[in-house]
């Protein structure tokens, strides 16, 4: 049998932490709870977790800071939990290093499916670099854009570009399917790993605009990452 996946819950409201703990346990996960930002950081860095559920508003150290500090050392998937839609809109515009965002009050089913998808995506990434001789191109070249799938490097006209994981995953997926437009829902499924995704699709738009800002000479008039009107996005 597989070992149980372990999740770190960083949440200062004990009723929410308990609710999460019970439901994670019922879904077959192990968990630990940290009730403020400092404890969360300490546990994240000293323990072994498959995923971190990180509340944004926390005593002692807020979720942004915890996230940034964890990211410097670890690639553990982080789902950031925010109290309101406006907060979520705000942080979607920032490069926080979190892999996903959930707004309170959240549906437990949606949260559990996101936890599963993020853990699976992370596991795939750990396996894929060892995949050899699969016949896939290791370096994808599209005019001045270079994607080195072995080194996870992306460069434009010879200059290296720093991308977040979502940005990298998205551009790689579109590059491997050059010219084919995908809807936001399809991208949430294929790139973010959500099955039968029905929820929030703004993460796609935000990631596209971040990518455009990094790879396009004129982001408002893109040459690579294009919008297919009425459908979604494709790479040209
Ligand atoms: Ca809180």
The reported pLDDT for the residue numbered 172 is 93
Domains of the chain with CATH codes:
6-122 (3.40.50.2300), 139-235 (1.10.10.10)
pTM, full prediction? 0.63
Query: What angle in degrees, to the nearest 10, is found between the helix axes of 108-127 and 14-26?
Result: 60
E-strand stretches of 100-216: 100-103, 139-142, 145-148, 153-156, 159-161, 182-183
The reported pLDDT for the residue numbered 125 is 66
Answer yes or no: are the C-beta atoms of 233 and 208 closer than 8 Å.
yes
Centroid of ligand 1 to alpha carbon of 82 (angstroms): 8
Confidence of residue 181 (pLDDT cuts 50, 70, 90): very high
Centroid of ligand 1 to alpha carbon of 220 (angstroms): 37
Centroid of ligand 1 to alpha carbon of 10 (angstroms): 9
Distance CA 85, CA 97 (A): 19
DSSP label at residue 130: G
The reported pLDDT for the residue numbered 131 is 45
């Amino acid at each position: 049998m597989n070992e149980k996946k372990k999740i770190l819950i960083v949440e200062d409201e004990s009723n929410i932490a308990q609710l999460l703990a019970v439901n994670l346990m019922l879904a077959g996960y192990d968990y630990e709870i940290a009730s403020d930002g400092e404890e969360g950081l300490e546990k994240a860095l000293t323990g072994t977790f498959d995923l971190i559920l990180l509340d944004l508003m926390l005593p002692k150290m807020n979720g942004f800071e915890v996230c940034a500090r964890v990211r410097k050392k670890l690639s553990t998937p982080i789902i950031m939990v925010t109290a309101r839609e406006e907060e979520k809109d705000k942080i979607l515009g920032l490069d926080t290093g979190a892999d996903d965002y959930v707004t309170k009050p959240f549906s437990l089913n949606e949260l559990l499916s996101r936890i599963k998808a993020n853990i699976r995506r992370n596991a795939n990434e750990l396996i894929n670099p060892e995949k050899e001789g699969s016949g896939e191109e290791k370096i994808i070249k599209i005019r001045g854009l270079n994607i080195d799938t072995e080194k996870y490097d992306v460069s434009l006209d010879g200059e290296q570009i720093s991308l977040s994981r979502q940005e990298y995953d998205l551009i790689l997926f579109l590059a491997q399917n050059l010219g084919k437009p995908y809807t936001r829902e399809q991208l949430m499924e294929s790139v973010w790993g959500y099955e039968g995704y029905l929820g929030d699709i703004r993460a796609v738009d935000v990631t596209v605009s971040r990518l455009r800002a990094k790879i396009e000479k004129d982001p408002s008039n893109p040459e690579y990452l294009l919008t297919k009107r009425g459908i979604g996005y494709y790479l040209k």
